């Protein structure tokens, strides 16, 4: 009969056979001991082998510890630390340190998050889907489209209701997609009534198979405000096509300041203020995030009594400069397309030059509540109060994060600020993320911190890999073999 060790690091309580790992792949049975399978990651501002990551207890460090000591600015992270959830046990590592002469304590753990999600910012004006539309991965609903922001479309992915409140396939796909996005990998998202988007943090989005290259310089009105002076004297009229606000330079306040003469142009759309038009088209994948493939579709008949005349020149351009067209009114005041004159090419290039690269941003959002705090201190609410009051610094894998005001410890962090592979998962399904709480030692003791578990960094280096809390050595009652 092969004996298995029961791991009590989380509520799954796996029986782990010798040489095997538990369901989380983060703990293993090594010669009758429960050990962590991942290295505890430390960070340093010193660059080692071209990277800022200093792995914990790796063989090169262990073999050269006497001749190549760790940098003096080492920061311990929760990556690879393991967890003790539910945290009636102290956190895996509670480490003392000196920071600018002050006695500090850093508590590290890998927290299990059912209440978590990711917010995805996609730099594009292309229509991804209606607000509130479901976002799917492999057919399962894992989130929704939320409010668009300036030059970007926003998605909300995950959350407890998708992770554990729906079907098992829904939970699995939600967890798998969030894990991929948080670890800097690509994920294909399908939006109901909209586009198929390939998303990867720090990379350009791919919308319906077409890579995006530029984030718009501004709405149509803003573009005119920035570049009207560049066009004066080079062209008679400029229309900047945009899904939000389409701008017309001769009517716009910028044009008025420049004494731009009227041209008799008519725009089909909802006029807001002079030179600014809403809803010239439905959203889409065309010019400026509209459905337009022919920009002339938004023009009505030109008015001779308002300044229209044969030979009048017109530049129509999108907010990224990717789409542009040059037209000349014929004898019937109908625009006829002509090649873009050389003298206008620099002005179109200037729009493109002022566009930032289109990127995807992935922000992990989690709530560090519940018994997690008991692994830090015996009076958990004091930890919450200390984080909210700024006495305790919360970092995620060594990265600074934004802590939301109000109750609890709800934080948000850019996943690109963490080392690659910092996130894990458990079969709940839920994500696992590293947390570090750093605070003055006296504050830690005052909140009921686990004083007897405080170690020095040297002790951590000597004693590191083994999971030292209780693990039960006994045969599995069913199917033991």
Instruction: Taking residues 12-41, report their average pLDDT.
Output: 81
- At 24 the pLDDT is 74
Residues 15, 17, 22, 27, Cα dihedral to 10°: 110
Out of 188, 212, 236, a domain closes at: 212
Out of 322, 353, 384, a domain closes at: 353
Instruction: Taking residues 287-299, report their average pLDDT.
Output: 95
Does residue 294 fall inside a structural domain? yes
CA 397 from chain centre, in angstroms, equals 15
Instruction: Taking residues 259-273, report their average pLDDT.
Output: 95
- Are 155 and 164 a contacting pair, CB within 8 Å? no
pLDDT tens digits, 420-445: 889 998 888 999 999 999 999 999 99
pLDDT tens digits, 40-92: 777 765 444 444 444 444 444 444 445 455 555 677 888 888 777 766 788 88
- At 183 the pLDDT is 96
Does residue 224 or residue 62 have the better pLDDT?
224
Confidence bin at 13 (pLDDT 50/70/90): confident
Are residues 254 and 199 part of one domain? no
User: Could you tell me the pTM of the whole model?
Assistant: 0.85
- Mean pLDDT lowest among 81-85, 325-329, 414-418, 441-445: 81-85
Instruction: Taking residues 103-108, report their average pLDDT.
Output: 93
- At 81 the pLDDT is 82
Tokens 């149509």 belong to residue: 220
| Selection from 335, 401, 460 nearest residue 54 by Cα | 460
Are residues 338 and 462 part of one domain? no
Q: What is the percent of the chain with per-residue pLDDT over 90, rounded to a whole number?
A: 69
**DSSP structure class, residue 467:** -
Confidence bin at 38 (pLDDT 50/70/90): confident
Rg value, the chain, Cα: 29
Are residues 331 and 280 part of one domain? yes
Are residues 272 and 307 part of one domain? yes
Confidence bin at 469 (pLDDT 50/70/90): very low
Are residues 342 and 249 part of one domain? yes
Domain count, the chain: 3
Confidence bin at 241 (pLDDT 50/70/90): very high
Q: What is the percent of the chain with per-residue pLDDT over 70, rounded to a whole number?
A: 88
- Are 240 and 354 a contacting pair, CB within 8 Å? no
Q: Is the pLDDT of residue 332 over 90?
A: yes
- At 475 the pLDDT is 45
Are residues 107 and 17 part of one domain? yes
Average pLDDT, the chain: 88
Does residue 380 fall inside a structural domain? no
Confidence bin at 102 (pLDDT 50/70/90): confident
- At 170 the pLDDT is 97
Q: Is the pLDDT of residue 470 over 80?
A: no
- Mean pLDDT lowest among 54-58, 288-292, 313-317: 54-58
pLDDT tens digits, 443-462: 999 999 999 999 888 777 77
Q: How far apart are CA 87 and CA 93, in angstroms?
A: 13
H-helix segments, 318-400: 345-353, 380-388
- At 463 the pLDDT is 65
Residue 59 main-chain phi, psi, to 5 deg: -60, -45
Tokens 């990651």 belong to residue: 41
Q: How far apart are CA 385 and CA 406, in angstroms?
A: 10
Go through 414-423 and write b for each residue having 16 or more CB atoms within 10 A of its CB, e for each that does not. bbeebbeebb
- At 158 the pLDDT is 97
Strands (E) across 166-224 are located at 187-191, 196-199, 206-207, 210-211
Range of the domain at 439: 4-112+393-402+427-474
Q: Which residues pair with 93 in a beta bridge?
A: 108
Instruction: Taking residues 96-105, report their average pLDDT.
Output: 85
pLDDT tens digits, 152-179: 999 999 999 999 999 999 999 999 999 9
Are residues 230 and 315 part of one domain? yes
Are residues 463 and 398 part of one domain? yes
pLDDT tens digits, 335-360: 999 999 999 999 999 999 999 999 99
Q: Is the pLDDT of residue 466 over 90?
A: no
Out of 212, 228, 258, a domain closes at: 212
Does residue 467 fall inside a structural domain? yes
- At 471 the pLDDT is 41
Are residues 155 and 194 part of one domain? yes
Helix/strand/coil for 175: helix
Are residues 64 and 78 part of one domain? yes
Instruction: Taking residues 301-322, report their average pLDDT.
Output: 96
- Are 368 and 394 a contacting pair, CB within 8 Å? yes
Q: How far apart are CA 151 and CA 133, in angstroms?
A: 19
- At 306 the pLDDT is 96
Q: How far apart are CA 52 and CA 397, in angstroms?
A: 13
Instruction: Taking residues 390-414, report their average pLDDT.
Output: 95
pLDDT tens digits, 182-207: 999 999 999 999 999 999 999 999 99
């Amino acid at each position: 009969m092969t004996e298995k060790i029961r791991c009590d690091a989380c509520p799954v309580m796996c029986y782990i056979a010798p040489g095997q790992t538990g369901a989380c792949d983060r703990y293993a049975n090594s010669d009758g001991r429960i050990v962590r399978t991942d290295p505890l990651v430390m960070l340093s501002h010193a660059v080692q082998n071209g990277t800022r990551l200093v792995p914990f207890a790796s063989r090169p460090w262990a073999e050269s510890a006497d001749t190549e000591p760790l940098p003096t600015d080492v920061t311990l992270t929760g990556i690879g630390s393991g967890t003790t959830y539910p945290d009636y046990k102290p956190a895996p590592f509670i480490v003392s340190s000196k920071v600018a002469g002050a006695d500090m304590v850093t508590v590290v753990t890998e927290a299990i998050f059912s209440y978590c999600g990711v917010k995805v910012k996609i730099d594009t004006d292309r229509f991804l889907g209606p607000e509130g539309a479901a976002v799917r991965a492999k057919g399962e609903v894992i989130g929704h489209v939320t409010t668009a922001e300036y030059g970007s479309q926003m998605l909300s992915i995950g959350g407890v209701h998708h992770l554990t409140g729906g079907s098992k396939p829904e939970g699995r796909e939600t967890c798998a997609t969030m894990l991929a996005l948080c670890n800097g990998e690509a994920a294909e998202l399908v939006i109901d009534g909209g586009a198929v988007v390939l998303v990867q943090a720090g990379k350009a989005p791919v919308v319906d198979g077409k890579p995006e290259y530029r984030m718009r310089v501004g709405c149509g009105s803003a573009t005119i405000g920035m570049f009207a002076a560049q066009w004066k004297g080079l062209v008679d009229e400029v229309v900047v096509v945009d899904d939000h606000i389409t701008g017309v330079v001769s009517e716009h306040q910028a044009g008025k300041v420049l004494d731009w003469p009227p041209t008799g142009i008519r725009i089909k759309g909802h006029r807001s203020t002079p030179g600014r038009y809403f809803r010239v088209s439905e959203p889409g994948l065309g010019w400026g995030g509209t459905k337009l493939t022919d920009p002339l579709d938004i023009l009505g008949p030109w008015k001779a009594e308002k300044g229209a005349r044969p030979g009048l020149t017109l530049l129509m351009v999108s907010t990224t400069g990717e789409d542009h067209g040059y037209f000349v009114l014929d004898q019937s005041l109908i625009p006829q397309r002509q090649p873009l004159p050389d003298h206008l090419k620099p002005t179109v290039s200037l729009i493109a030059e002022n566009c930032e690269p289109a990127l995807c941003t992935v922000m992990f959002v989690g709530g560090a509540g519940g018994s997690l705090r008991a692994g830090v201190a015996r009076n958990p609410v004091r930890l919450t109060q200390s984080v909210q009051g700024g006495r305790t610094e919360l970092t995620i894998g060594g990265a600074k994060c934004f802590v939301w005001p109000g109750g609890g410890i709800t934080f948000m962090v850019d996943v690109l600020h963490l080392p690659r592979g910092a996130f894990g998962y458990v079969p709940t399904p839920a994500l696992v993320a590293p947390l570090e709480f750093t605070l003055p030692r006296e504050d830690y003791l005052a909140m009921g911190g686990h004083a007897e578990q405080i170690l020095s960094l040297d002790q951590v280096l000597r004693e590191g890999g083994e999971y030292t809390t209780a693990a039960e050595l006994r045969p599995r009652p069913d199917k033991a073999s």
